[in-house]
Amino acid sequence: MPPRNLTSVSPHIGSNTNTNSSSSDENLNMEDPFNQDANEYESQSYDESSSFNNSNTNLNAGTKNGGSSTPEIKQHLLNYNSSFHNSSTSSLVNPFSSTNKLNSLYHDNSKTTEYDRYPKRLSGSRVSSIHSSNSKAPSYVNKSNLDSDSFSNSSDRSSNPFLVDTDFSPFGGYPASSFPLMIDEKEDDDYLHNPDPIQDADYEKHRIWYDFKSMDKRYSLALLGLLFFLFGGAALFVVLPAVTYTHVTIHHDKSNANKNTTSVGSGAVILSDYVYPQLSAIRTELVDPDTPTQFHTRKAKDGSLWKLAFSDEFAAEGRTFYDGDDQFWYAPDFHYDATKDLEWYDPDAVTTKNGTAHLRMDVFKNHDLYYRSGMLHSWNRMCFSQGIMEVSAKLPNYGNVTGLWPGMWSMGNLGRPGYMATTDGVWPYSYDACDAGITPNQSSPDGINFLPGQRLNSCTCEGDEHPNRGTGRGAPEIDIIEGEVDTNIRVGVASQSMQIAPMDIWYMPDYKWIAVHNNTITTMNTYAGGPFQQAVSATTTLNTTWYELGNTTSHFQKYAFEYLNDNEDGYLRWFIGDNPTFTVYANALAPNGNIGWRRISKEPMSMVVNLGISQNWAYIDFPSIKFPATFEIDYVRVYQPNDSISITCDPEDYPTVDYINAHPKAYNIWNYTLWEQTGYSTPKNNLTGCT
């Protein structure tokens, strides 16, 4: 194999056809490297195929003659490698640069071939010349000589996947060793290799801000698109349904307030000066839209049709009745101590389901009481004066098991049910005279009356507190029904009554003015009252299918009372279904003994429905009662004469609101049992003296 002739492939080394030359210096023409005119090969190309073949031919020839490189060739290698170094910086320089003096070393223009300035592949001779500067250069050259057969055939090299070009360059043709990294050079990825702790800490602290700053146009548009879809989806699926359902987009003004007014005689009472944008639990009309139109009137005793003034069908599912949840009702959270009940009334026990209001009693320890139940009030929210109060209900438990106490009733708004300080000296007075009837115990030592006297009588002294001086005020009670069971015949009965004070002698009204309409099912109640109230009451037997439980299908039944409070022609009539049970006329409450007329209530009456349990009411058959027990209310409706619509708790002739607001301790704290405990004074009267 001939020795390699490096001079035939390098553009920087002069060629010499005499391979046996004794001096390599003679082959070099060291021209001025800074002379640009002498650089004849600056723009010439490097032909890969020719250089590769020529180098292999010369190298093989040299090897055959000498078996190894001659000293001259080695000297050329050293000089060629030394030319890669800059004498001033001792750093490698680009041998192909126009400023490199090696470009002027080649002096034989006749032997020049076209070379590729940016070769895609490097020949073995260049590898040898580049690495000749290190201490292993001779051994590398020898190895190259020994392996020269592998370079003689380019097809063998390309077909061998395990043969790697030792001078592979990632820069597209330049030798890797020709591109050293200088310390003062700046590259785009320097921050990855030279971290700055201070800058990194600041970046971590403000990462979001830096990420926003570094976002390009593409990512900015993507972020804007994402935000658009998020806000658009929220507007479409949350905001739009809410504003549509609540009708807030509909213009409201006070000019339409007459839709929420009801006439009182020749005038009008505005329930609210503002027409509310409504949620599902709020109504702008007193008549429930779910009330069928055929029930918008009801025939009264005299045959006239009375108008539906208020209704609640409880059709909305899942209503709650915590104080403030509903505009007409609230469920109290207290113990009803006035009748020594065994349950705690809890708003949790009242809701609406399947189109009815559910008052549920269960065995659940609450405030050291072992039963929990529900009550609904309309106190100081919705009241009426005169008319018909009708309730459709399904009574709880079995119709032949005694113990539970379902009630549907009304009471004057000056007394708040369960707040005993407010009823002290007010319940159940309906009295407008100024005589012994307003005094404590009715001025009778026989114990007929244990009441403290009528606190808000018609003859209070000037300057003392009174809702409207000159008018006797109170909180009379009218019960649509109080459910119980007759233990003798083991069937449910309805007690329907009115509670009044002061009392008749022996608690006996004038029965000539009381009518029982069906003696086979209705009888006057043997209980006529006690020292705290007189009860004008009758009981009517009930069908066991009108109860929650039983052997047959249960049904709702409607219960009602109808009254007019005229002093001469007034009356009070009770109903079960469409059938009247008994009627009390105004004359039945005529003067008796040392007391005067008791009047059928002229007070604004609030409405109450509740489910209680008390040993003061009936014998409790604990083993037979099935808990939980549910008292279901289908609807509550109020009808009034067309010329006497009064759905307000503060009518002009019998105001209540200002007086209630002036005594918040009594009307807001149910633990007070007596008026004097609240610290408010009791008005004096002309009968007992104003001094």
CA nearest neighbour of 391 among 412, 413, 406: 406
pLDDT at 150: 41
Backbone phi, psi, residue 60, to 5°: -65, -35
Domain assignment present for residue 209? The answer is: no
Question: How many alpha carbons fall within 13 Å on the CB side of residue 46?
Answer: 21
Structure tokens at 597: 């007329």
One domain, residues 302 and 170: no
Domain assignment present for residue 215? The answer is: no
Query: In this predicted model, which residue has the larger pLDDT, 273 or 483?
Result: 483
Please tell me the total count of domains within the chain.
2
Residues facing residue 228 across a β-bridge: none
Q: What is the DSSP letter of 158?
A: H
pLDDT at 408: 98
**Cα(603)–Cα(599) distance, integer angstroms:** 10
| pLDDT exceeds 50 at position 291 | yes
pLDDT category at 96 given cuts 50, 70, 90 is very low
Domain assignment present for residue 254? The answer is: no
One domain, residues 167 and 297: no
Domain assignment present for residue 687? The answer is: no
**Cα(177)–Cα(167) distance, integer angstroms:** 8
Q: What is the mean pLDDT of residues 282-306?
A: 93
Structure tokens at 678: 């609240």
One domain, residues 304 and 163: no
pLDDT at 259: 44
One domain, residues 163 and 300: no
Last residue of a domain, one of 135, 150, 178: 178
| Sign, Cα dihedral of 538, 541, 545, 551 | positive
End-to-end CA distance of the chain: 148
CATH number, position 536? 2.60.120.200
Residues facing residue 360 across a β-bridge: 630
CB within 8 Å of 317: residues ≥ 6 apart: 352, 353, 354
Domain assignment present for residue 502? The answer is: yes
**Cα(528)–Cα(201) distance, integer angstroms:** 88
With 0-12 / 13-18 / 19 or more C-beta atoms within 10 angstroms meaning exposed / middle / buried, residue 365 is exposed
Q: What is the mean pLDDT of residues 152-160?
A: 48
Backbone phi, psi, residue 477, to 5°: -125, 135
Domain assignment present for residue 152? The answer is: yes
Domain assignment present for residue 161? The answer is: yes
Residues facing residue 516 across a β-bridge: 582
**Cα(4)–Cα(444) distance, integer angstroms:** 148
Last residue of a domain, one of 178, 193, 221: 178
Cis peptide before 180 (omega within 30 of 0): no
Give how far Cα 204 sits from Cα of 45, 128, 212, 308, 685, Å. 52, 50, 13, 71, 82
One domain, residues 13 and 158: yes
Query: 223: left (phi > 0), else alpha (psi -120 to 50), else beta?
Result: alpha
**Cα(174)–Cα(126) distance, integer angstroms:** 11
Query: In this predicted model, which residue has the larger pLDDT, 340 or 178?
Result: 340
pLDDT at 180: 55
pLDDT at 160: 55
User: What's the pLDDT tens digit per position in 324-351?
Assistant: 899 999 999 999 999 999 999 999 999 9
Last residue of a domain, one of 125, 159, 178: 178
Question: Which residues form the domain of 71?
Answer: 6-178
One domain, residues 580 and 434: yes
CB within 8 Å of 234: residues ≥ 6 apart: none
With 0-12 / 13-18 / 19 or more C-beta atoms within 10 angstroms meaning exposed / middle / buried, residue 627 is middle
CA nearest neighbour of 616 among 358, 427, 336, 422: 336
One domain, residues 499 and 367: yes
Domain assignment present for residue 624? The answer is: yes
b/e map 376-399, b = 16+ CB within 10 Å:
bbbbbebbbbbbbbbbbbbbbbbb
DSSP of 529-561: EETTEEEEEEEEE--GGGBSSSSS----EEEEE
pLDDT category at 209 given cuts 50, 70, 90 is confident
pLDDT category at 264 given cuts 50, 70, 90 is very low
Evaluate whether 591 touches 526 at the Cβ level (below 8 Å).
no
Q: What is the mean pLDDT of residues 129-148?
A: 42
pLDDT at 208: 84
User: Which helix (H) or strand (E) segment is 365 a member of?
Assistant: strand 356-366
Evaluate whether 474 touches 458 at the Cβ level (below 8 Å).
no
pLDDT category at 197 given cuts 50, 70, 90 is confident
**Cα(305)–Cα(308) distance, integer angstroms:** 10
One domain, residues 527 and 665: yes
Instruction: Out of 129-133, 319-323, 605-609, pick the least confident.
Output: 129-133
Query: In this predicted model, which residue has the larger pLDDT, 659 or 195?
Result: 659
Evaluate whether 604 touches 650 at the Cβ level (below 8 Å).
yes
Per DSSP, the three-state class of 364 is strand
- The rounded percent of the chain whose pLDDT value lies above 70 is 68
One domain, residues 29 and 170: yes
